[in-house]
Amino acid sequence: MTTGDANADCGGDETEADRVVCVRGRSVGLAVVEVDDAELLHRWRSDPVAAHELGIWPRSLGALRERVERDAEDDSRDDFLVLLPDGTPVGYAALSDQDMVNGSAEVELMTAVEHRGRGYGTDALDALVDLAFGELPLHRLVAETHTSNAPALAALARSGFAREGVSRAACFHRGRRHDLAVHSLLRPEWERLERRRAREVGGGSDA
């Protein structure tokens, strides 16, 4: 995998419903987002629960498709669909703002509302973290979410992220300002985690 450009070189022959899987977790795989995924991402982003928790504004399908096309050419980010072994998409994950000089990046994660509560979010987050530290020369991952987003806070804690503090009134959404909880995970902390790494699961169609 090319340093800092996982989109360009996901390689390998593992597929889930004809999608190349870059990294496989316990129950999900990560496949690079394609332009044709824009409609699915638009539907997920339009859900009022997801929009509130992520603090995102509605976008037209055309605008989102253009964004997906731009992001595909952005060397500072890698965007993935989260897939079940049968190819069912259950969420979205990304490593954004990758800074290879300082070894830092931001983690983004969204689980489709109809697939929440089954552990897919935590598994996808673990797989994304393993990609970041196992394949890229990153040292620090950061994640931010509303202080009221209990599911996201729980997933971050399960994946080993430590809470650093709160960015007060940092997000303006639906006429209100929201505090953001700031979490981080460092490479030495990841190395001490007692769990199977995503790259160790590998092989065949078993997740």
DSSP track, 86-98 = TS-EEEEEEEEEE
Q: What percent of the chain has pLDDT above 90? A: 50
Q: Hey, is 78 helix, strand or coil? A: strand
> Which among 18, 46, 47, 19 is positioned nearest to 31, based on CA atoms?
19
Q: What digits encode the pLDDT tens for the residues 91-141?
A: 999 999 999 999 999 999 998 888 988 889 999 999 999 999 999 999 999
The region that residue 154 occupies, defined by phi over 0 for left and psi between -120 and 50 for alpha, beta otherwise, is alpha
Cα angle 108, 114, 119; round to 5: 60
Domains for the chain: give ranges and CATH numbers. Answer: 6-193 (3.40.630.30)
**pTM to 2 decimals?**
0.83
Q: What digits encode the pLDDT tens for the residues 20-32?
A: 898 999 899 999 9
Burial 10-49 (b: 16+ CB within 10 A, else e): beeebebeebebbbbbbbbbbbbbeeebbeebbebbeeee
